[in-house]
Structure 1
Amino acid sequence: MSAASKTGQLGRNAAVYGGALLLPRLAAFVALIVFSRLLTPAEYGYFALFVISAELMNMVLFNWIRLAFLRLYAEHETQKQLPLLRRTCLAMTGLAMILSLPVALAMALLAAPDRWLVFFALLLSMNFANGIVRLRLSELQAEHRSSRYFAIEVSRAVLSLALSLALVGVTGPHFEALAIGFAAANVGVALVCLASFARDLMQLGLDRTLVRSIVSYAGPIIPITALESLIPLTERYVIQFVAGPAAVGVYAAAQNLVQQPINMLAAAVALAAFPIIMRSAEVDGHGGAQARMREVGSLLLALGVPAVAGIIMLRSEIATVILGEEFRADAIALMPWVAITAILVNLKFHYFDMAFHVTRRLMVQVATLLPATLLTAPLIYLFLQIWGLPGAAAGACIAFAASLAASWIAGRRLLTIPHAFGEMARILAATGVMIAVIWGIGPLPGLLGLIALIVAGGTAYVLTAVALNTLNMRAALTSHMGRLSGRLVGAS
């Protein structure tokens, strides 16, 4: 496959996955709008602790199996051994679920000692759902079956919102109702996904050679994901220890509000990019992988930089429209720090850390996470005592910036990380025009005012980016228009 066709494949797949992620993120926004008005910050704080605890267990227990599945898929597809890979990864997922029992109990006792039994049951339910659903999503990702991926993600999001709303309406605005609806929806989708593995369930087994291959590649991912997930967990647990669950609720609401759009854009790129980069590394060597990495870095910046700038400029309008009144004032102060942290996180994991995956030196990646892991708790504790919740967000941002710097320094020793400085300059110039347009229009009240500012700023950014030929957009647009004109002439 030529470099041009690979570039087109990355762009097309990123667009498809972006669509697959859009509706779930919209459902999450609706949930944030509704539940920040129905629940008190303290009840929302307990839900935030449940979600982050479930995500930590998912990342530590299951994510390394899914990454190994993606990394080894092309090799086993070539060797016609995909059923063996499926059965082994499914069996390892089942073993991880068994190992999750004592971990879930410990986390329930720590996070919600007065509600530990419900918390424990909900964590077990989410472990089952995450193990099955996300393994199935990884298979669909490897097969580039985006429509099935879309259906599963949207079903989970819509069912979670609908069931949670129904239970909150029936039983009252409490953490238990919200979390039970969320978990029940995920379990329901997991049971449907489990049907796709029905044939494999009858032949489960652990192939020793394949297990060794999985562990040799993905074993280091366990400490990586543990450290990666401990960072946000530490943030919320330290805040709970110092300021209580209500402060956790406000902090989590601000994070969810800001990170959803940035993570959605980055995830759309990453979902498409990872299998393409890995396949390029296998087929074309490091040179092919580096070319794809350069495209990924440019695309992440082209999407992330204007998103961060827009969120910072429109933070008051966004918080007023979306969040409940009890959450707004503190969230507005938190949003700039949370936005900057979000783009740093995505650049590290989806761009700089690709060097460790391509060279299979994942233990080095573990070391790059240590600065954030070691600094997060003390910086948040200290800054929270001095400056309140904005100080906690600033401490988290500084801690993760240290980890990104470590990733850049360590990664370049293993693989030359390509940087498109010309693209960066064009992206910053287009973002500057966007900022000037938003600033010139000034604040507009209400939802319609917010939409108008977003549309005006986004239009200014896109037009400037095309004019500057950012990401080769002008050339691609000219080529497309030429082909379209040719077809119209031929049709006439």
Structure 2
Amino acid sequence: MFWRGVIGYLPVNVVQGVVGLLTIVAFTRLLTPAQFGDYALGISVMALVHTAVFTWNEAAMARFWAGESGRDGGADHSATVYRAWLLLLAVLPIAALIALALPMTPSLKLAVLVGLATVAPRTFVKIAQERRRAAGEVKSAALLDMGQTLGGFLIGVGLALAGLGGAAPVAGLGLAALACLPFILAAEHRQQAGGQIEPQRLRSHAAYGVPVALSLILALVLSTTDRFLLSAFLDESAVGVYHAGYSLANRSLDVVFIWLGAAGGPALIMALERGGRSALAEAAREQAQLMLLLTVPAATGLALVSAPLAKLMIGPTLSAGAGHVTPWIALSGLLAGMTTYYFHQAFTLGRRTSLLLAAMAVPAATNVALNIVLIPRFGLDGALWATPASYGLGLAASAFLGRRSVTLPIPWITLAQAVGASGLMALVVSRIPAVGGLLELLFKAAAGALVYGAVIALVDAGALRSRGRDALSTFRARSAT
């Protein structure tokens, strides 16, 4: 199931990667630094409300579907999840009234209100995606993801050209989700037809999902507090510079982690439910090896080419500062991705989500404390230093506490191979002259990929050659059907 998902979600990964970069290229040019800061804060509020109110319900759909689908086709399960979603919608107008009452600039208030309006359609589509992923319906889940990603970008660009400012990219996300609804409403209605809401089931969903949501809130605190504190201690322009560099690094890595996570999460649940702990350990080791072999060099490469990449991708008013931000966030993104998409799986697999909450509390609190101390004294650099330190602490806490739920293997040999090959890659790339522009970026990227790929192939790290043949066979089989 894992390799089928890896192949099936590859187009999603490509679309997300391209759109993620185009988002930075377009909106750092179409928006002023202050408007880009409004966008960053508006989308952060959207994410916080989504996570705080709706994510526990989405998590329950994903985790329990494999066990419930064999009973009445999962109708009771789906009915309970969707009825809960309807009840939760009542929070959104309350949040909008609070936003209206808060002292904010008109442009920031508009971005926040638009972000709140996008939550309803995006959460409905998210539930439908989680059901499809859990059921192994890769094509359907992938199409939903690509439709929202590409549609949200194109609509957002149009709205930015029309003068909507920082609210434009956020509004694009909501309108793209609305456009997906006609394609999924009938199927989701059929899925829950005849299903009954069961209070006991809802309680079990909440017992499992609420700690997940709370931990994700802490993750958002970890990833967004710096923006709010930069706005408080400095201004929206500083937020824009930080968010531009953060997005450039984080989105480049996120597309890889999200791709592997979309395939890996359901595969681990299936392995545990149907094959037990031994099957889980084998599947988890395979996933961890592939994650390390792809993301360690990606983070290293981003740090090495941060300056020419920022000049090429980001508007001139933000590029210099963003180039300084990118290497720090590349390290943070690697630590955050391994934590979220690998070590956090132990808590969901073992249904010990209260431990997940504990694992996230320490780095979130540390991040807030470090930013409060460092930003007033060191400005933007203070936020940059606080971010990787907090994520590193989060990884250590998750790895330690996760062993009390489900023990996930750590492929130390593969980690050493990935780090060693990345070190050789960095040595070679650092010797290439900084000629600037696209030429420097392409030359360094090609040289780095060639050196890293040669070393990994030479040592056959993670048995990648044989697994690559298996993946190719899967792709050919899918293409033949």
TM-score (norm 2): 0.91
Could you tell me which runs of 5 or more consecutive residues in structure 1 were left unpaired when the two chains were aligned.
1-8, 483-492
Which residue of 193, 216, 225 maps to 1:225? 216
Contact 1:112 1:119 survives alignment (8 Å) = no
Residues 383-425 of structure 1, C-alpha deviations (whole Å, 9 max, x = no match)? 2222221221211221222222211222223433312111112
In the TM superposition, what is the alpha-carbon distance from 1:28 to its structure 2 partner? Answer: 2.4
Equivalent in the alignment of 1:380: 371
Which residue of 403, 407, 416 maps to 1:416? 407
Equivalent in the alignment of 1:370: 361
- Is 2:133 the partner of 1:141? yes
Amino acid at match of 2:133: Q
Distance 1:285 1:384, change over 3 A: same
Equivalent in the alignment of 1:443: 434
Contact 1:355 1:414 survives alignment (8 Å) = yes
Which residue of 464, 467, 479 maps to 2:458? 467
In the TM superposition, what is the alpha-carbon distance from 1:155 to its structure 2 partner? Answer: 1.8
SS of corresponding position for 1:442: coil
Which residue of 269, 287, 290 maps to 1:296? 287
Amino acid at match of 2:161: G
Which residue of 406, 417, 424 maps to 1:433? 424
Amino acid at match of 2:6: A
Aligned equivalents of 1:477, 1:281: Cα separation in 2: 24
Alignment of 1:256-405 (within 5 A): 256-405=247-396
Equivalent in the alignment of 1:164: 156
Contact 1:52 1:232 survives alignment (8 Å) = no
Amino acid at match of 2:33: P
SS of corresponding position for 1:78: coil
Aligned equivalents of 1:339, 1:427: Cα separation in 2: 16
Aligned equivalents of 2:302, 2:321: Cα separation in 1: 15
Contact 1:160 1:185 survives alignment (8 Å) = yes
Amino acid at match of 2:290: L
SS of corresponding position for 2:286: helix
Distance 1:117 1:313, change over 3 A: closer
- Is 2:60 the partner of 1:68? yes
SS of corresponding position for 1:81: helix
- Is 2:209 the partner of 1:240? no
Q: CA RMSD in A?
A: 2.5
Residues 302-352 of structure 1, C-alpha deviations (whole Å, 9 max, x = no match)? 111101110111110110100111112221221121111111111111222
Contact 1:262 1:343 survives alignment (8 Å) = yes
Amino acid at match of 2:77: L
Residues 99-119 of structure 1, C-alpha deviations (whole Å, 9 max, x = no match)? 233234435655835357634
Contact 2:310 2:319 survives alignment (8 Å) = yes
Distance 1:255 1:108, change over 3 A: farther
- Is 2:41 the partner of 1:49? yes
Aligned equivalents of 1:124, 1:370: Cα separation in 2: 25
Aligned equivalents of 2:472, 2:393: Cα separation in 1: 45
Contact 1:53 1:233 survives alignment (8 Å) = no
In the TM superposition, what is the alpha-carbon distance from 1:198 to its structure 2 partner? Answer: 3.5
Contact 1:44 1:249 survives alignment (8 Å) = yes
Contact 1:91 1:205 survives alignment (8 Å) = no
Contact 2:156 2:170 survives alignment (8 Å) = yes
- Is 2:82 the partner of 1:86? no
Amino acid at match of 1:394: W
Residues 19-71 of structure 1, C-alpha deviations (whole Å, 9 max, x = no match)? 21221331121121011112111001001111111111222222222221121
Aligned equivalents of 1:20, 1:387: Cα separation in 2: 39
Distance 1:444 1:368, change over 3 A: same
- Is 2:12 the partner of 1:11? no
Kindly tell me the number of residue pairs found equivalent between the two proteins: 474
Contact 2:118 2:171 survives alignment (8 Å) = no
Contact 2:20 2:252 survives alignment (8 Å) = no
Aligned equivalents of 1:235, 1:292: Cα separation in 2: 36
Could you tell me which runs of 5 or more consecutive residues in structure 2 were left unpaired when the two chains were aligned.
474-481
Which residue of 135, 139, 142 maps to 1:150? 142
Distance 1:78 1:192, change over 3 A: closer
Aligned equivalents of 1:203, 1:95: Cα separation in 2: 19
Amino acid at match of 1:66: E
Aligned equivalents of 2:289, 2:99: Cα separation in 1: 39
Equivalent in the alignment of 2:477: none
Distance 1:312 1:189, change over 3 A: same
In the TM superposition, what is the alpha-carbon distance from 1:200 to its structure 2 partner? Answer: 5.7
Distance 1:183 1:70, change over 3 A: closer
Aligned equivalents of 2:192, 2:107: Cα separation in 1: 35
Amino acid at match of 2:366: L
Distance 1:40 1:308, change over 3 A: same
Equivalent in the alignment of 1:489: none
Contact 1:53 1:107 survives alignment (8 Å) = no
Residues 249-284 of structure 1, C-alpha deviations (whole Å, 9 max, x = no match)? 111111111011211111111111111111222222
SS of corresponding position for 1:441: coil
Contact 1:163 1:181 survives alignment (8 Å) = yes
Alignment of 1:446-457 (within 5 A): 446-457=437-448
In the TM superposition, what is the alpha-carbon distance from 1:289 to its structure 2 partner? Answer: 1.9
Aligned equivalents of 1:435, 1:465: Cα separation in 2: 14
Aligned equivalents of 2:4, 2:73: Cα separation in 1: 28
Amino acid at match of 2:321: D
Distance 1:319 1:376, change over 3 A: same
Which residue of 109, 113, 122 maps to 1:130? 122
Identify which range, 203-212 or 17-26, moves more after superposition: 203-212
Distance 1:201 1:479, change over 3 A: closer
Aligned equivalents of 1:480, 1:127: Cα separation in 2: 36
Residues 289-309 of structure 1, C-alpha deviations (whole Å, 9 max, x = no match)? 222222222222111110111
Aligned equivalents of 1:202, 1:15: Cα separation in 2: 32
Amino acid at match of 2:46: A
Equivalent in the alignment of 1:197: 188
